[in-house]
């Protein structure tokens, strides 16, 4: 309601295409009349409450996607750490195999076909085979971990994108709230 200069009150109305008038506000000024909002709902757009609910739902969904991406990132980091550990173990096994081979070579040069040295030679040869078998197993494990580690970069990109989307959505919601503070809610 609007008060005229001489104290008389006037209704705020909208004019139709044929000259008809439709009251817009409740008499107490508390908001729009239901008949007005029903008639002009398409022009007015969604209600503030509906927008806020949709924004809240969108933010919740985006937060869940971000949490899942962060979880995948943590898993990828764990796999990368495990891969590094396996690589260190592989290097250690490779060094052990080389040392064992050097001992075998030295034993053969020193003792030739001595019976005691033959036993030691068999033991060292078996030890070398064991080291080589462990090395090959580690090599396979590292290859599998490398495949999984490749996903780490993809996951990091996904986390960044999801975080940016969430920031964008939250920013829009903040902007809408500021705009709605200057309007009357339906």
DSSP tag of 116: H
What per-residue confidence (pLDDT) applies to 181? 55
Give all strands (DSSP E) within 43-139, no chain letters.
Answer: none
Kindly report, as residue ranges, where domains of CATH 1.10.287 are found in the chain. 48-181
Chain segment 111-127, per-residue pLDDT in tens: 766 667 778 888 889 99
Chain segment 93-108, per-residue pLDDT in tens: 999 999 988 988 887 7
Cβ–Cβ < 8 Å for 14, 37: no
Measure Cα distances from 135 to 23, 90, 103 in Å: 85, 6, 19
Q: 3: which strand partners?
A: 9
pLDDT average, residue stretch 69-76: 86
Round the average pLDDT of the chain to a whole number and report it. Answer: 79
> Tell me, which fold does domain 48-181 have in CATH?
Helix Hairpins (1.10.287)
Percentages of the chain per state (helix, strand, coil), in multiples of 5? 75, 5, 20
Euclidean distance between CA atoms 78 and 89, whole angstroms = 17
Measure Cα distances from 69 to 39, 51, 72, 76, 152 in Å: 45, 27, 5, 10, 11
* pLDDT band per the 50, 70, 90 thresholds, residue 176: low
Euclidean distance between CA atoms 96 and 66, whole angstroms = 45
| Residue from 163, 132, 9, 159 nearest 74 by CA | 159
Of residues 99 and 179, more confidently modeled: 99
What per-residue confidence (pLDDT) applies to 147? 81
Euclidean distance between CA atoms 67 and 59, whole angstroms = 12
């Amino acid at each position: 309601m609007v008060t005229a200069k001489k104290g008389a009150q006037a209704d705020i109305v909208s004019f139709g295409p044929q000259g008809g008038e439709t009251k817009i506000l409740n008499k107490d000024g508390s908001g729009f009349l239901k008949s007005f909002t029903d008639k002009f709902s398409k022009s007015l757009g969604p209600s503030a409450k509906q927008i806020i609910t949709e924004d809240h739902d969108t933010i919740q969904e985006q937060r869940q996607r971000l949490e899942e991406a962060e979880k995948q990132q943590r898993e990828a980091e764990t796999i990368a750490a495990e891969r590094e550990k396996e690589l260190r173990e592989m290097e250690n096994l490779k060094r052990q195999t080389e040392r064992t081979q050097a001992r075998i070579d030295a034993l053969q040069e020193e003792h030739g076909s001595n019976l005691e040295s033959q036993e030691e030679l068999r033991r060292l040869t078996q030890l070398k085979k064991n080291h080589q078998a462990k090395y090959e197993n580690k090599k396979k494990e590292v290859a599998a971990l490398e495949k999984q580690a490749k996903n780490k970069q993809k996951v990091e990109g996904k986390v960044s994108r999801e975080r940016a989307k969430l920031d964008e959505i939250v920013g829009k919601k903040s902007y809408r709230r500021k705009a709605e503070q200057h309007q009357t809610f339906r």
